[in-house]
Amino acid sequence: MESLKQKTFKGTLWSTLERFSVQGIAFVVMIIMARILTPDDYGLVGMLTVFIAVSQALVDSGFSQALIRKLDRSEIDNSTVFYFNIGVGIFLYLILFFCAPLIAKFYNEPILIPLTRLISLSVLINSFVVVQRALLTVNIDFKTQAKASFSAAIVSGVIGISMSYMGYGVWAIVWYQLSNLATNVCLLWILSKWRPKLLYSWKSFRELFSFGSKLAMSSVINVTYKNVYLLVIGKVFSASDLGFYTRAHQFAEFPSSNVTSIIQRVTFPVLCSIQNDDVRLTNVYRRFLRLSAFVVFPLMIGLAAVAHPFIILVLKEKWEFSVILLQIICFSMMWYPIHAINLNLLQVKGRSDLFLKLEILKKCIGVVIIVITVPFGLITMCYGSVVNSIISLIINTYYTGKLINVGFMKQMKDLLPTISYSLSMGVVVWIVVQILPNNILKLSAGILVGIIYFLAITKITRSADLRELLSFIKSK
């Protein structure tokens, strides 16, 4: 039998390979497509993101997390979730199909009618693999998911780039997204051993729904809030402004969200397996926090420091307004993995009710911040997102402290060394970028200096987090 540490290592390794290989391909594809397409093209797709994202959250309905958490899950549970998700997927697709004219009227963009009806197919397609993904996650089997995701990234990348060069404009983005999801779903069905049976139980549904429904509502609130920026920017500002914002946000998301996704996927089943041992749970939880910050903080601050040469070299001068937006968003997104692990703990402890209450409270605060900042322009809105991220962190950690006595102050004490290393590295990199004469030198030297500086200072100060990371890797 594999130990918990070995399973965690394998899960982290394959989850990391999947996320960064797949997202690395997606990153390259996005750069190529963005150099061909316009900010308006991306802005049009961005206008629909909130509707698709909310629908995707409803398709899952929190059942995947409920299945993962349930230690005595049965075949009846799995099949019940499968059929329910498909029903919800069909229902939501029909709603989006018939509401397409209203969405187009809201933004005053007639092209959104056919765009909405096509891209909404992603909601229906995704409903077919919720159970497969959940069961693979239970077994910490990210190798299978990596195979499917990597193949889908290659296929969709070829389609997206080809259609961009052929002049399909915004339709290239839509077909790129759809082909990625459809290929991934097909491969997961082929590679996964699980198949639905003709079973359905209302008792099983009620049991899973009692836990999952609160997570679903929390997810809908969170997804809606995350995308309300797109909604407001698309309505108040121009499609180009929305295009600039979506590109900046996507670049900031690449390191932050991908590392967070890896952490969430691995930590949730791992922490669930020791949910009744508070002492062990606390120790493992704090280690996950420190390791995630040790990876994400320097990445985000370093990205902010080299944002200008990076955007100009990668996307050309037409995207230059994205630079300042990217720099600000990096300081908001750097806290994302810390939020995720804190919220994971609430789910592990079965407090989906508290999870929901926190989401409502945080998002109400976030909406107030948006209302205050939107009259001052897009840049001020981004600063507001940083403020909201800090406030949300304080709220999340307050309740974590109530559950396992690891509150805000203890977490900040754990993270303070990494924060210090990362900020000092950011200053050094920024100075290097200002001194050098051209963008190629600025970017290459900035990255190299940042890596050397961060590794050197953590080695010289004998960072416990560096030792922990190396120990974790060597443990295999």
pLDDT by residue (tens digit) across 148-183? 888 898 999 999 999 999 989 999 999 999 999 999
Q: Quick one: which of 151, 141, 130 has its CA closest to 87?
A: 130
How far is it, in rounded angstroms, from Cα 28 to Cα 24? 6
Q: What is the pLDDT of residue 166?
A: 92
Kind and range of the H or E run holding 462:
none
> In Å, what is the CA distance from 51 to each residue of 86, 96, 361?
18, 8, 22
For the chain, count helices (H), then strands (E).
Answer: 20, 0
How many other C-beta atoms are found inside a 10 Å radius of the C-beta of residue 97? 14
Which of 39-53, 67-81, 282-296 is predicted least confidently? 67-81
Kind and range of the H or E run holding 267:
helix 239-273
Q: Which amino acid is at 441?
A: L
How far is it, in rounded angstroms, from Cα 75 to Cα 426? 51
Which of 17-21, 273-277, 302-306 is predicted least confidently? 273-277
**Burial class of 206 by CB neighbour count within 10 A (0 to 12, 13 to 18, 19+):** exposed
Is the pLDDT reported for residue 57 higher than 90?
Answer: no
Phi and psi (nearest 5°) for 321? -65, -20
Q: What is the pLDDT of residue 471?
A: 66
Is the pLDDT reported for residue 429 higher than 90?
Answer: yes
The mean pLDDT of 368-385, rounded to a whole number, is 90
Residue that wins the pLDDT comparison between 188 and 269: 188
The mean pLDDT of 270-290, rounded to a whole number, is 70
Angle at 256 between CA 161 and CA 55, to 5 degrees: 65
Asked if 152 contacts 191 with a C-beta cutoff of 8 angstroms, the reply is no
Residue that wins the pLDDT comparison between 221 and 305: 305
Residue that wins the pLDDT comparison between 377 and 218: 377
Asked if 284 contacts 274 with a C-beta cutoff of 8 angstroms, the reply is yes
Which of 112-126, 192-206, 397-411 is predicted least confidently? 397-411
Q: Model pTM?
A: 0.66
* Domain map (residue ranges) of the chain: 1-236
Helices in 334-438 by DSSP H: which ranges? 336-348, 352-373, 378-404, 408-435
Which of 137-141, 185-189, 368-372, 437-441 is predicted least confidently? 137-141
Is the pLDDT reported for residue 369 higher than 50?
Answer: yes
How far is it, in rounded angstroms, from Cα 442 to Cα 429? 9
How far is it, in rounded angstroms, from Cα 353 to Cα 68? 17
User: pLDDT band at 1, cuts 50/70/90?
Assistant: very low
pLDDT by residue (tens digit) across 92-145? 999 999 999 999 998 888 999 999 999 999 989 988 888 888 777 767 666 787
How far is it, in rounded angstroms, from Cα 100 to Cα 7? 45
Q: What is the mean pLDDT of the chain?
A: 81
CA atoms within 13 A of residue 139's CA, in its CB half-sphere: 13
How far is it, in rounded angstroms, from Cα 317 to Cα 377? 21
Which of 130-139, 155-164, 259-268, 355-364 is predicted least confidently? 259-268
